[in-house]
Every structure is written in structure tokens, then in C-alpha cells.
Structure 1
Amino acid sequence: MALSDTKLRKIKAPYNGEAELADRDGLSVRVSPKALITFNYRFRWEGKQQRIKLGRYPGLKLIDARKKVNEYRHNLDEGLDPRVVQNESRSHNLFGDMCEAFMTKYVMTELRPKTQTLYKSTFNKYVTPYKNIDIERYKYTDWIAYFDWVKKESSSANAGSVLKRFKAVANWAKARGQIKHSHLIDIPIKAIGSHQQKRERCLEWDEVIGLWRQIESSKSTPQCKTCIQLLLLTGARNAEIREARRDEFDLDKNIWLLPPERSKTKKQVRRPLSTGVIELINKLDLIYGQDREYLIAGDIKGKPLTTHAVNRFVQRMNNHLKYPHFVPHDFRRTIVTRLSEHKVELHVTEKMLGHELGGILTRYNKHDWIDEQREAYELYWQKVTLLLKN
């Protein structure tokens, strides 16, 4: 009896039925005890029985598996080995192969470790089960159905993010001449989900002071407490503080030199140290010694404080304070907004954030306004100190 989509959808784990179910023209499916359904094509070549895997359901639909079988039967009629045809298809058209090449040749060589991790996570979760999709032949409506599933399983914003990364693969493969086109490229994000919302959260002065006091009264480790305080006072990125090495900080010159390999712009960033930051680093030196590798060591020897530890601590602060929800990245927006209220110039706050200035300034003006940054950081610390006293 021929297979049907209804019959395949009814297969659930744990499965204890027949291990192989036949369709027609040599097409069959193998079903594992975990209900993993794999299409196979059986044929004879040079007098011997052969079998090749076509793909896994539902990534490969029954109707598409039958089309593949018809193509392979046509190959046999022309004296071609379907296995050779399939291997040629895999090297050029299968989505899983495109993603693997994209990771190896672009992501792992050109992008930053955090972005690499993001792509790895996305591909492991959303590509691996559907790696046998033919990226050129997969229909527009099938892609839409796939992303509707992603949206249902996670969120509208996540579906948009996954599509964005998938389109990056398709555009990369097309630019290199590996594919002619993919319907992925044509899908607008609004058709299947939404863009990630840009955060607007900016702490008010009373919230900054309330958070500082809550940190001071917390029974958490000095590492977590100091990390958040340094993020508040510097406006640096989370990883820039967490993964900072002790020798990046010169307390005699009151300067922090962020090396190019840890900078988002891949250029060295100079940040002056305010009195408050120096006090916090001195406290860490007193507890952990000046010869340690990382400014803020984690629980594992030779490793920095983890993102998980920081986020967990910030969530506890959120739970205690009951403010509108904030995350460490919001501290960057907070410091430049509060300083702008005190007439600190835009180019100065941009350099404090480690940003490149736009337009002609990026190309010709390499000044980082270090003295103006120093004044701004000290102004911010003085304001925090004054409000804490009051």
C-alpha cells in the first residue's frame, strides 16, 4: 500500500511498528524507534541491489521524494548511476552542505566568536533536521511553511532572525556561483515573523543609584558585584569587561587599553579610568592579587567570569528592585544619555562607547578625545557619588 502524508504524520515516538514501509517505484521509508523517518530509494546497478538515502521527513516531503525517485529512474534509463547524481546534487544544492561551507569558509574565519556561536546554535537547531532540503528547488510556499513552524515553536522575532541567517547563506552561495537562486532570498521578514526589537531602555538617575545600593547590599561574590559596577561606570560592552585581562589596566596612567582582538571594531580602544573605576580595581587587587590573568576571574581556574553568572546576577537585581526590566547593555545607553544631559559632546560619548565615528571622520580623524573622555567619566562618577550621599 502506497504511503501518504497522513500516514507519515501519524508515526509518533516511541515507534514499534515495521522498520521499513514501502511506497512505489523503489521508494520506501525507514522508521527508527524514535520515529525518525528517512526516505530511501532502492534500485539495481550492474546486477546488484543498491540503496541511497534521499532525506528525512518532514524536511523532505513525500511528493518531493517521489519526484527525486522519478529523476533517478530517468538517470537509470540514461545509463547514469543515481548515487553519482545524488553526490553531485549534495555538493552544490543541499542546504546542509551550503550551511557547512558557509560556516567553514566565512563564519569561522571572518566573524567574531560570539557571532560564530550564534550561527552554530541556529544551524544545529534549525538546519540539521532539514539539511537535505534542496536550496534551489525548495518552493517559496514550503519555506513559508517552514518558518511558520519556527515561529510557532519559538517566537515571531526568532523566526525573523533565523530567516536573516538563512538568507545570508543563500546570498553567500549565490555570490560564489554555487547556486543560481533560492526562494529564501525573496522572502521578506515581515512575511514570516518580525525584526528583533531595538531596546530603548535607559536608566534614570534614581534607578542607577537604587541599583548601585542594591549591588552593595547584595551577598553575591565580589566578582559579579564589581563587574556590574564597572559596566555602569564605563559603558563598556559586557564581554569587554568580563574578559578583560588585568594587564590591560594601567592604574598609574589611569588608562585602559582594549586590544584590537577584543574590540568590536578590531581597533585598539583607549578608555580613561575614573576615580570610581580605580577604586573598584584596587579592591579586586586587594582580594585576588595584582598578578592574576583576568581582571574578574570566574569560578573555573584560568577562565573569566561567565555571561551566565552576570545575567543571573542582573536578573536578581531586577527581581529585587521591580524597575522596568534592564539588561547590562542598557548601561551603555544610560551613561551616554545622562552625560549628554550634562552637555558632553556626541563625539566624546561615541568614543567612550568604543564606536567608530561616521563619514569622513572615520577615514581621516584618528583622535580619540582622551582628555574629554576623562572629564566625562569623572563627571559621571561625581554625579553617582553625590546622589549616593544624598
Structure 2
Amino acid sequence: MLNDAKLRALARGHDNTSPKKIADSNGLAALVRPNGQISFIFRFRLNAKQQNFTLGQYPNLSLKAARERATQCRKWLADGFDPRVQARIEKQANREQLTVRQAVDFWLTDSETAAADSYRKQFEKHIFPHLGDLPIDQLDTAAWLKVFSDIKRGTYHRAAPNAAAYVFGLTKTAMKYCRARQMVKTTVLNDLSAGDVGATVNKRDRVLKQNELNDAVAWSNDIRNPFYYRALLKLLITFGCRLSELRLSTIKEWDMSAMVWTAPKQHTKTGIEIQRPIPAALAPVLASLINDRKSGLLLTENKTVGSVSNYIIGISRKLGHDSWTAHDLRRTFATCLADMGVHHHVIEALLGHTLPGVAGIYNRSHLINEKREALELWISSGVKL
């Protein structure tokens, strides 16, 4: 049998004109050329013929690794497979393994999520510098926990327990999306929760009072304030929509003849198109926004979600309120409509939520008439634009 001492001696070469073949065990042998180059080969019989399969060269391939490969070859033979073919299949599979960066990019691009740019920035900051170029299927739980721990403790940036939990959730979603499409196999995060890696954010329950809502509308009507944010705030209050649906909205989404706004699926969180009627009172506002432009963004500028979110919080503070966010406006919209007696399924449709159960599968109605009645009620009774 072979050992490392014998292999090192054989590597000095020999005087024979043809290679020497030194047997080990289980079909493994070392083929030693006169110049000392050593190749591990697996010898086997297939279809009554003697075959040789080169496993690799020593010392790049260790004796231990060569024996493990030979054992795998014997298992393939026992199952009726040609080891040479199976090895090529395995090598191709390994070559095509997605890196962490490739898996995340596939998820963000293929899912067409509206928040893709925001999500990508989180990965570029916290994940890609450390794991981005590594095969995602080869990373174990410990490797991921190390990265999330670094985010939580502030190893490379400011300590951010909430961000650790947030990035963990994004990573888990990306893995699930790719796994469902047979792009990856990893399940290393399945048994973990956000609380295991960071601090989960407490769910907010902030609902604006009527006087606060009136103040916000008044701010949106004050021409001394920036045009972009006046229009954004008024539309957020009117529709109770997600911030990105407006931030990314283009003029062509707004059909002023039918008085319907259609948010395309690539701008919605659920990936489903959302149609919302345009209240009559909002027509002059939209006319000033469109202003004979045929294309482009409705709000004219492409601002980042972070800057817009922070500015909205700043508005609440300027008004002397306890801080509220764009999402708090959305919660206020839903709560007030419910208090006005609007049916739950209509509110959910306006919010752009997927209906649960069978209704969500078979009911594809946009409920335009019901939505229009709800929004007109909201404008006339809940909020004065």
C-alpha cells in the first residue's frame, strides 16, 4: 500500500522509460512517470474491459483525498454507473453552483420586487464583502451566523441589531426563492428566526389623530414646502399605498380618462398589479403633476427610499407631532376606512394585499366600483384635500 513517505520518494523519479504503476487498495494506484510526476488512477472493469480513470495529481490531490474518490467510484460502479461519467456530472454541477451574490441577484431580478435597490444596498454593505463570491450551497450555518453577529455587534459598521435581523430575513427570502426554482439547495437558515441573530423590530401601532391628519393635509397644500414632498404626501394620504408604489410611479400608469391608477406588478410588494380609482377631488393635483408630459416619473425625480422615508418623518416632527412614517399613514388610512364601515376585503384590495384562502386564488376582480365609493367617502368624510 501507499503512504506519504513512499510517495515523496517516488516523486524523485526513476530510470525506467515507461511509467511505474504502484497499487494501493480498492482499485486505487499511483502512476509514476520517469520525471517523478505522480497521478492517482482508479482501475476498474466495465463491460468486461479493464479501464483506468485519472483522479488527480499528487501532491495537489492528497493520498487521503484520492482514497475517498476511489471509494466514491466503487459506489458508482456498484450502482451500475460509469465513474468517469458520474465524475463529469458532479464537476459540472459544482462549476454551476451559484455564489451568494449570484443567488441574491437572481432573486432581486427575477422577482422584480419594487424594493430591489434598497435590498441590494443592504447585501452590498453587509454580506457581499464577506460571502459574496462563495458558493451559497457550501456555506454552513456558522458562516452565516458569523456575518449576522458582525452586523449586530458592529464589527465593520455601527452596531445594528435590528439591521442584523432585517438582513437575515432578506437572506432567508432569497434562499427560499432560489430553492423553489431549483437554483440552490441550501436550508441552513431554516431552523433560525430573526430573534436568533439580532433584535426584531417591534410592530408599530401608530394611527394619526384627526387633527394630525388635518395638519398633514395642510402641509401638503402649503406652496412654501417642496413640490415633490407636497405631492407625495397628498397621494400617500389619499390612497394609503406603499411608498415605493408612488416613488417609482410613471405618468403612463395614470389614466385620467378612466380615472384609474394602475400600479404595475414590478412596483408592488406582492408582485400583483393594483388598480385604484382616482377620486374626482384629486384630478387638479394630478393635472398639475402631469402638466403635458408624456412620459417619465410622476413626481419628476428618482429619490432613494431612505431619503424619502426620512423626510416624511421630518415632516411629522416639524408639525410638532409624535413621529409618524409613511407606513403609519397607510395604517391610518385602513383604520379610518374600517371605522367608516368600509368592508374589510375592499380595504385589503386598496392596500394591495393578497386576499387569503380561496378568494385570493379565484377572485381576480379589481373591485373598481367598491374602491371608488370607499375613496370618495374617505375624501369627503375622513380627509379634506
**What TM-score does the superposition give when structure 1 sets the normalisation length?**
0.64
Aligned counterpart in structure 2 of residue 210 of structure 1, from 192, 209, 215: 215
Aligned counterpart in structure 1 of residue 287 of structure 2, from 282, 305, 317: 282
Deviation, 1:103, is 3.0
Task: State how far apart, in whole Å, the 2-side matches of 1:253 and 1:137 are.
Answer: 53
Q: Which amino acid aligns with 2:350?
A: M
Q: Which amino acid aligns with 1:276?
A: A
Aligned counterpart in structure 1 of residue 255 of structure 2, from 238, 250, 253: 250
Deviation, 1:225, is 0.5
Task: State how far apart, in whole Å, the 2-side matches of 1:328 and 1:281 are.
Answer: 20
Task: State how far apart, in whole Å, the 2-side matches of 1:367 and 1:166 are.
Answer: 33
Residue 194 of structure 1 corresponds to 199
Deviation, 1:356, is 2.6
Aligned residues of 2:279 and 2:375 also touching (Cα < 8 A): yes
Deviation, 1:231, is 0.9
Q: Secondary structure at the match of 1:329?
A: helix
Aligned counterpart in structure 2 of residue 329 of structure 1, from 327, 341, 344: 327
Cα RMSD (Å) of the superposition? 3.8
Task: State how far apart, in whole Å, the 2-side matches of 1:183 and 1:132 are.
Answer: 18
Deviation, 1:320, is 0.9
Aligned residues of 1:94 and 1:132 also touching (Cα < 8 A): no
Task: State how far apart, in whole Å, the 1-side matches of 2:286 and 2:171 are.
Answer: 43
Map 1:289-368; keep pairs closer than 5 Å.
Answer: 289-291=292-294, 293-298=296-301, 304=302, 306-307=304-305, 310-368=308-366
Change (3 A) 1:264 1:249: same
Q: Which amino acid aligns with 1:99?
A: V
1:27-86 deviation digits (Å, cap 9, x = unpaired) = xxxxxxxxxxxxxxxxxxx999xxxxxxxxxxxxxxxxxxxxxxx968345798xxxxxx
Deviation, 1:176, is 7.9
Change (3 A) 1:79 1:188: closer
Task: State how far apart, in whole Å, the 2-side matches of 1:357 and 1:233 are.
Answer: 22
1:329-372 deviation digits (Å, cap 9, x = unpaired) = 22221111101111111111112112232211122323333222
Aligned residues of 2:114 and 2:269 also touching (Cα < 8 A): no
Residue 38 of structure 1 corresponds to none
Q: Secondary structure at the match of 1:271?
A: strand
Deviation, 1:194, is 3.1
Map 1:1-390; keep pairs closer than 5 Å.
Answer: 75-77=61-63, 92=94, 98-115=99-116, 117-119=118-120, 121-131=122-132, 143-153=144-154, 154-168=159-173, 183-217=188-222, 219-285=224-290, 288-291=291-294, 293-298=296-301, 304=302, 306-307=304-305, 310-384=308-382
Aligned residues of 1:92 and 1:179 also touching (Cα < 8 A): no
1:253-297 deviation digits (Å, cap 9, x = unpaired) = 322233344344444322111133213113335xx4354533221
Change (3 A) 1:131 1:73: farther
1:164-212 deviation digits (Å, cap 9, x = unpaired) = 3444566677778888767544444323223343332221211110112
Residue 12 of structure 1 corresponds to none
Gapped runs of 5+ residues in structure 1?
Answer: 1-45, 49-71, 81-87, 299-303
- Larger mean Cα displacement after TM superposition, 197-206 or 177-186: 177-186
Aligned residues of 1:122 and 1:162 also touching (Cα < 8 A): yes
Aligned residues of 2:207 and 2:329 also touching (Cα < 8 A): yes
Change (3 A) 1:126 1:359: same
Deviation, 1:90, is 12
Same amino acid, percent of matched pairs: 22
Task: State how far apart, in whole Å, the 2-side matches of 1:232 and 1:114 are.
Answer: 21
Residue 301 of structure 1 corresponds to none
Aligned residues of 2:213 and 2:383 also touching (Cα < 8 A): no
Q: Which amino acid aligns with 1:201?
A: R
Deviation, 1:228, is 0.9
Change (3 A) 1:93 1:158: farther
Task: State how far apart, in whole Å, the 1-side matches of 2:328 and 2:287 are.
Answer: 26
Task: State how far apart, in whole Å, the 2-side matches of 1:280 and 1:234 are.
Answer: 14
Aligned residues of 2:336 and 2:382 also touching (Cα < 8 A): no
Q: Secondary structure at the match of 1:207?
A: helix
Deviation, 1:232, is 0.5
Q: Secondary structure at the match of 2:101?
A: helix
Task: State how far apart, in whole Å, the 2-side matches of 1:242 and 1:132 are.
Answer: 32
Deviation, 1:112, is 1.8
Structure possessing the higher radius of gyration over alpha carbons: 2
Task: State how far apart, in whole Å, the 2-side matches of 1:181 and 1:246 are.
Answer: 42
Gapped runs of 5+ residues in structure 2?
Answer: 1-34, 38-57, 67-89
Task: State how far apart, in whole Å, the 2-side matches of 1:289 and 1:330 are.
Answer: 33
Deviation, 1:327, is 1.4
Task: State how far apart, in whole Å, the 2-side matches of 1:283 and 1:310 are.
Answer: 21
Aligned residues of 1:258 and 1:270 also touching (Cα < 8 A): yes
Change (3 A) 1:176 1:378: closer
Task: State how far apart, in whole Å, the 2-side matches of 1:238 and 1:344 are.
Answer: 23
Task: State how far apart, in whole Å, the 1-side matches of 2:229 and 2:91 are.
Answer: 52
Task: State how far apart, in whole Å, the 2-side matches of 1:309 and 1:143 are.
Answer: 30
Deviation, 1:118, is 0.7
